[in-house]
Structure 1
Amino acid sequence: MPALPSTPRLPASVSLGDGGYAFAHDPALPVGPEPVAWLPELSPGTLLLDEAPRGFEHVSLDPSQLGTIIADRADDEGREVIVVDDSGELHIRLRSENAAQRPMILLPADLASFDLRLAVASRFMRRLGGQTIGLLPQALRLTMQRKRRLVELLHAFDVHDLGGGPRDVADLILHSAQARLPSVEWKDSHARRAANRLIHDSIALVNRGYLKLLRGG
């Protein structure tokens, strides 16, 4: 079994001027417990609010009434509040100073995500009206089974990225005794097929496949 390198290989920085592309999350920022703020155009789970025109009846928004606030930050695009309940995280993007006092929901005419955005907006309004309902529709919720699968995929990618092969993934991720079979038996083993599938799916996930999760895929 090949030994894994002791330290990971860090990718070189890529600038937009050198032919790179914009990431959904800035890869130069450290990963920590702070929840990620996704680009609203990529995430139907981000509710866009602006100030409603004068003359409309309105209900002031207090995000703490929707659930537990786990992040509240401002940038050049406005303010983003992340609220969590049993259904998951709702990202609320307030695009103007008075959006919380006179909220108006923005629904971009994006055919690929319109139904999900409408479902999120509908649940938001029903919660404002006092109904007990999850903030996120079922398609945007991460079940424990899906979370475990994602953790496996990320671990498998790390092993692969450090030079490991299917045997290493079968041993370290799947904890399969078949990883120690002789070559002939290993070639036709279930663990080898499962490990190869994990590696294949993990590469697809890291190479922008994770964006499908934001869209309920």
Structure 2
Amino acid sequence: MRVRENSRRDDDRADRPAACSSQDQDLPAGYVSGAPLCTALNRPDLRVLLGTAEEHALGADGGVSWFSPVGGAGKIATPQAKVPLQTYSVQLSASYDRLPVAETADLLGFTAQRTTVLGRPAVLYSDRTIGITLNFNGGKTSTGTGPGGIARSLVVAKDAQDGGGSFEVVIWRQDGRLPDDTALFRTAEQALPTIPGWTAG
């Protein structure tokens, strides 16, 4: 009986998402931080949405990166969260650059596909992940275009009027194969409405 109870507890723990760690910094008013993005992405059913129901999250973290726009003054914060599994890694980020998704689609070129997600303008596009090779024998660390291969990204406007700013969901496979767009859309449609400040319509 004890063996069965212990086994049931282990199964229950395995079904829970990984605990989110966060390294948030001070953000301007109205910005969502990495911690709630991590909570939105790190769903108990994420593995099911990705089509890998037998897998479990290997970790989960949220934080903020900063970049300086070309010709602009100051820095823009990009809160983000990432959850890796055995097959997929998934990332969710928020952009406050005031750029409408329609303009983002123009900048991405002819391969970008305009679409709609949850009633909002969106654009689907491909990008390459960067592989990092670590040498633990005193050698140099090198980077390259692999083994992550192709990442599929879905940029969704913050509002139906496409007034600027967006959320982006990205998935890529650990084995370098092409990710499943259906899994990407399923994840976005379930995770985005749980971000604080998201409004329907």
What TM-score do you get using the length of structure 2 for normalisation? Answer: 0.24
Larger RCO: Structure 1 or Structure 2 (Cα < 8 Å, ≥ 6 residues apart)?
1
Whose helix fraction is larger, Structure 1's or Structure 2's? 1
Structure number with larger C-alpha Rg: 1
Whose strand fraction is larger, Structure 1's or Structure 2's? 2
What TM-score do you get using the length of structure 1 for normalisation? Answer: 0.22
